[in-house]
Each structure stands twice: as structure tokens, then as C-alpha cells.
A and B are shown apart, each in its own frame.
Chain A
């Protein structure tokens, strides 16, 4: 069974700074990796799919990279609305749709 591991659990960043979030798969998921953003009290929102393709309406400050087992989500200049929890999800292997445990991006 594939396991998705995100790091760090919490990331403290000042507005305007860059944030780098990591996601590791226990076995290769090719580029079948998505990132979601979830704000308190809201449903998750798709940010990135195919490891690096931004979903419709997602600002260019969000970028994704990686393939195989190592992936990164970068937020180039954090805005106030970007403070949230971010989840990675693989959609390549069983169990399908497995999510990482999340990284909380908080204001420093």
C-alpha cells in the first residue's frame, strides 16, 4: 500500500516570503500527484495536478515540481489568503486517492 508523507507538518512563513512544501511517496507515482489547499471551515480546493499543472484560476505564485517519489509545492510570495493546510494526493497506485497528512502554513 502506497503511503504519502508530507513535510514539514507546520511551516511558519512571513507574508511575502517563499514557502516550500514537500511530499514523498513510498513508491513511484509517476507524475500523478495533485496538491489541494484547505482553509478553515472550507472544502479542499484543487491547486496543482500532474505534479506541475495549475488548476483553473490558480495564481502563478503556486508552482509544483517533481516526479516519481519526490514532489514540491512552492508558493513564491505568500499572500494573506495563502495561509492554509496543503495536502498532496497520489492518483496512480492503490489505494487510489491516497492523501498525505497535510502541511499547515501559518503566519510567522
Chain B
């Protein structure tokens, strides 16, 4: 079955970077786009960006431009999201989610990775 397995929880200090992974299985990795969405404690969903695993092209939310980088490794069917210059407001659960057609419709989600930014 289709699965997105994310890496474990992280605790980081302000100013540091974090890299979260999302390993896909059960489908052809390069045939589906992947998004990252985050959710701060008690808050709603915030779209962060999209990566095309086939060619590696990306598009990011304007507010995160310059701090977020999404990459992929086709040999392991894994996408990565790296966020730099972390601040307390980046404390959130980070989800990867599959997009069947590049339409920004998200049909399968990972379970989430908690990132805590604290001094």
C-alpha cells in the first residue's frame, strides 16, 4: 500500500537548521509530486512548498523563500525538506503529502514530524 514514512522528532536551537525526510513506498516515486505542509501547535495547516521528484523542480511559499530547500533522492524514493535559520515560530508538525497530478490536491499524507525550536 502507499506509504509516506517520515523521520523522527527533532529539537533544535534558534538559528540552527533541520532536515526532515519522507520515504515513499507502494507507488512510482517519480510519477507524483510531493508537498510539505506544517502545523504549529493548536493552529491550522500551512502550505510550505512542492517538489517534482522526477526532475527536482521546486516552488516554495513566499514567506519561506530563502530559508526552505526541498530535494529528493530517486534511488531511495525519499524527499527532504530543510529549513534554516530556525526560530521559535517554526515549532510545528511537518507533513509530507503526495499530489497525484501537480494540482496541489493532497491524497496521501505522512504521519508528521515534530520539530521543536527552543533555546
Residues on A facing B (Cβ under 8 Å): 32, 34, 36, 42-46, 49, 55, 87, 89, 91, 95-102
Contact = CB atoms under 8 A, between A and B. Distances in A.
Interface stretch (B9-17, B23-31, B42-50, B79-87): B42-50
Contacts of A43: 95, 97, 109-112
Contacts of B47: 95-99
A32 B106 CA distance: 12
Nearest to A87: B45
Given A96-B47, A99-B44, A45 B109 contact: yes
A95 B62 contact: yes
Contacts of B111: 42-43
Given A43-B109, A43-B110, A91 B104 contact: yes
Contacts of A42: 111
A5 B75 CA distance: 41
A37 to B, nearest CB: 11
Interface string B93-119: 001010000011111111110000000
B44 A32 contact: no
- Nearest 8 CB-CB pairs, A to B? A97-B47, A91-B104, A43-B109, A96-B104, A97-B104, A99-B45, A101-B44, A102-B44
A100 B104 contact: no
Contacts of A46: 105-108
A17 B111 CA distance: 30
A34 B44 contact: no
Contacts of B35: 97
A32 B103 contact: yes
B46 A99 contact: yes
A99 B106 CA distance: 12
27 contacts: A32-B103, A34-B105, A36-B45, A36-B106, A43-B109, A43-B111, A44-B37, A44-B97, A44-B106, A44-B109, A45-B109, A46-B106, A46-B108, A49-B107, A87-B45, A89-B104, A89-B106, A91-B104, A95-B47, A95-B62, A96-B50, A96-B59, A96-B104, A97-B37, A99-B46, A99-B47, A101-B44
